Structure 1
């Protein structure tokens, strides 16, 4: 019960179409398993409710909340819902992000609409969620914010808008950390590497016209550790550590969860 009596918001707690478990759903389940009450936020309410069902089946506490993260009013309502329902807000976990699914591409094929879409979902949503969470956490003199960036931010990655927005998320998290440390608020960012999730694998299989098995095998081959992609549970466990008191002296940290891929930089 490492998060006993904590109140958490997990943004992107639903599930992309495809096989396996996504990072947001796994994190929501993990937080609840460890004692938190979890507001499961997604633009697809039915998918968020599925996550709630999985949590409640394990004896946990959760509620679903529908929000379009590109709209400030939805993010404001989302942040207000947790203390309205449970009295406080201890953890904000920003998990949403798009690349190919948002129309991203290499530079010469990149369209303005794709840039705007990726910025709105990947970066602006994270900033605006924090805008409304920080006053609550400052008043409490405590809180943990965990943002999900990507190894794409610091390694070779071909698609422009995703790389740029995920890199910006690291800088924003560092700013959150040093501007709010005096209030007892911690902010850290996780960089998942090649993960076996529906968004990462099934989306690429569809975009590239390949089978899921082909895409998965190509990604596995690039991972130094056991030549096997990570899973959503690896990201969830890293988030659990950063949300818990075990990380009470850790803020402003960029944590790769990548099977050793970051060792290859340079």
Structure 2
């Protein structure tokens, strides 16, 4: 019960179609298992409701589009309306190929703006509206899902750029709000076996899921196997809990040793 009596908002708690579980859904379930009241936010209300049902423990679903600031504000307000406070904000939204991401010489304005709006601007706007609540409380935890792509070689420009920017924003929020008792950290997943990471590539490459998974498994130093959404969820649970009460402004790799290879 590491999050007993805590209120958490997970933005991106639904998931795209695929054979495995996504990071947002797994984190909502883990937070609920540890006693949190969880608001499962997603643009796909049915998917958010499915996550809330699996989480149980009084979890609720809320529909919001991260590209609209007013809807990020509404999600924060809904948690306050339901439970009176916001202890944890977890931003778990991201896209790359699904948004039209491409190499630097091929990226279009539309694709770059689309990926940036989802990966970065939505995070900034969610934080903008959560901070006043947390400052009044003199406590709070802000988490996000960046990516190991932020610091390693990655072929597509918008995803890498936005995920790297999330690190800088995390440090800024941590620095400016430490005096309010607010912590801000981000997670750098490596090669994960999630619908967004694997099944999207299956649809875009024409390869089988087994082929995509095998290629990714081979690149992971630790046991030559991708991580799962539960690996990310457990890292988020630690950072959200009081056990990480002296940790702020960090980027935590959850990558099976991938980043160790590049120093």
TM-score, normalisation: structure 1: 0.98
Shift in Å, 1:5: 0.5
Is 1:245 equivalent to 2:242 in the alignment?
A: yes
**Partner residue in 2 for 1:28:** 28
Question: Aligned ranges for residues 1-266 of structure 1 at < 5 Å?
Answer: 1-56=1-56, 60-265=57-262
Shift in Å, 1:183: 0.2
CA–CA distance in 2 between the matches of 1:55 and 1:40? Answer: 9
CA RMSD, 1 decimal: 0.6
CA–CA distance in 1 between the matches of 2:23 and 2:88? Answer: 16
Shift in Å, 1:38: 0.3
How many residues in Structure 1 have an aligned counterpart in Structure 2? 263
Shift in Å, 1:15: 1.4
Shift in Å, 1:265: 1.1
- Structure 2 alignment gaps of length 5 or more: none
CA–CA distance in 2 between the matches of 1:87 and 1:135? Answer: 13
- Structure 1 alignment gaps of length 5 or more: none
**Can you list the C-alpha shifts for 1:45-86, whole angstroms capped at 9, x where unaligned?**
000000011112xxx120000001000110010111101101
Shift in Å, 1:106: 0.8
Which aligned segments of 4 or more residues in structure 1 are displaced greater than 3 angstroms? none
TM-score, normalisation: structure 2: 0.99
CA–CA distance in 2 between the matches of 1:114 and 1:200? Answer: 18
CA–CA distance in 1 between the matches of 2:148 and 2:222? Answer: 15
